[in-house]
Amino acid sequence: MHRLGPVAPDPGGAAAPAGEQTAPFPSERIYLSPPDIGQVERDLVTDAFDSNWVAPLGPHVDAFERELAERCGVADAAALGSGTAALHLALLLAGVGPGDDVVCPSLTFVATANPITYLGARPVFIDSDPSTWTLDPDLLETEFETRARHGDLPSAVITVDLYGQCADYGRIESICRRYDVALIEDAAEALGAMAFERPAGSFGECGVLSFNGNKIITTSGGGALVSDDVDAIARARFLASQARDPAPHYQHSEIGYNYRLSNLLAAVGRGQLETLDKRVETRRRNFDRYVSGLGGLPGIDFMPEAEYCSSNRWLTTLTVDPAAFGATREEVRLELERHNIESRPLWKPLHLQPLFEGEPMIGGAVAEGLFDDGLCLPSGSSLTSAQLDQVIDIFRGVGRY
């Protein structure tokens, strides 16, 4: 039997820098957000093998796309190799090109902004609203007012539904409409969340989903572009399949990409999607449990839930005020790590990343404060209540009280 060599275990890591977590942790390590795979997924993958649809297209891809569109309350979906690929295509469809500006929040994963640079455009970062931690609509509106006067509006806005909480689309959709700027919803962390009685993914011109290993549902790696614009989705599929013209031979008139999700992985995604409601329920229950265990402590504040939103609580996140709690966020994180429990700071704001040094940033104090004091706790849908209690006990022990 052939066996591959040992692989550094990091099933829950969002984006662990190389070299981190290489120690062979025992199996009881508590991860931030590990994959949670059931029997249905195994059966569907077996079906894909048995039918020999081991190709980048096939019946599971078609069905997964229909099911995703239905779940997001939109007309159509294109299943893709990653959320990053979906963002790249969304920006292409919005006509973003070299020299353009694209607005996005600073407090997000780097994958939100990387595709802006693939197109030779420039990211313009905006701070978070302290009441939702998502893109601040007031700053967005002021920025648009100023830019409109100079005839310098951005080509697109990417909002981020952070840790499962939707941005304030009540405000942001109308601002973008008023100035006729394309809006792309990065809902990679928010599948299953609701805002303004609409599902995450349904806002703006199109929504972006991710099925990376740490997300609420996973295909090990994958993503999707969802939209009411069926022509846009058809074009996304075309671009994602090497932009092959309809002809019996291989004919190409445009630059294309190899961005399609395989039929095998779509089978996994279908099984995962069936359980989405339960996963949201479980993650919200994890959050409630943390609130009852830690919420009363001085200096501990959980990510607020906007009144317009029902978050999927992909990750439970909070801030630690060291003066009030008697310990810093980093002391809490290291103590958890000592007990083989993975927790992480919030996303490092993109305007502080060496990669984006010198790019424009509007505001910044909110995102910087959240990065200084913020922590993501283990939040997976397979956490046991004993594990939750263990995290809470260790956390409590670090404080002054």
Ligand X SMILES: *Cc1c(COP(=O)(O)O)cnc(C)c1O
DSSP strand E in 116-231: where? 122-126, 156-160, 182-186, 194-195, 198-199, 206-210, 223-227
Shortest reach from residue 220's CB to ligand X, in Å: 10
Residue 88's contacts (CB-CB under 8 Å, 6 or more residues apart) are 115, 118, 119, 257, 259
Residues in a beta bridge with 135? 128
Question: CB of 83: closest distance to ligand X in angstroms?
Answer: 3
Using the minimum distance from each CB to ligand X, give the nearer residue, 65 or 297: 65
Size of the site for ligand X (CB under 6 A): 14
Strand partners, 320: 300
Among the listed residues 36, 65, 136, 189, the single contact to ligand X using CB under 6 A: 189
Restricting to residues 101-120, name those near ligand X by CB under 6 A. Answer: 108-109, 111-112
Residue nearest ligand X, CB atom distance = 83
Q: Which is nearer to ligand X, 224 or 294 (CB)?
A: 224
Cβ distance to ligand X smaller for residue 160 or 236:
160
Encoding tokens for residue 313?
């609580």
Helices (H), 275-384: 276-294, 322-325, 329-338, 365-373
Interaction mask 55-94, ligand X, x per CB under 6 A: ---------------------------xxx----------
* The total number of residues written for the chain in this structure: 401
Q: Which is nearer to ligand X, 84 or 155 (CB)?
A: 84
Nearest-angstrom CA–CA distance, 388 and 396: 12
CB of 327 to ligand X, least distance (A): 28
Binding mask 331-350 for ligand X (x = CB under 6 A): --------------------
What CA–CA distance (Å, rounded) separates 134 from 153? 21
Q: What's the min distance (Å) between Cβ of 261 and ligand X?
A: 10
Query: With b meaning 16 or more CB within 10 Å and e meaning fewer, what string describes 339-369?
Result: eebbbbbbbbbbbeeeebeebebbbbebbbe
Sketch the per residue contact string, 137 through 176, with ligand X: x for CB under 6 A, - otherwise: -----------------------x----------------
Rounded to a whole number of angstroms, the minimum distance from the CB of residue 273 to ligand X is 15
CB 382 within 8 Å of CB 34: yes
Residues of this chain that bind ligand X (CB under 6 A)? 82-84, 108-109, 111-112, 160, 186, 188-189, 210, 212, 223
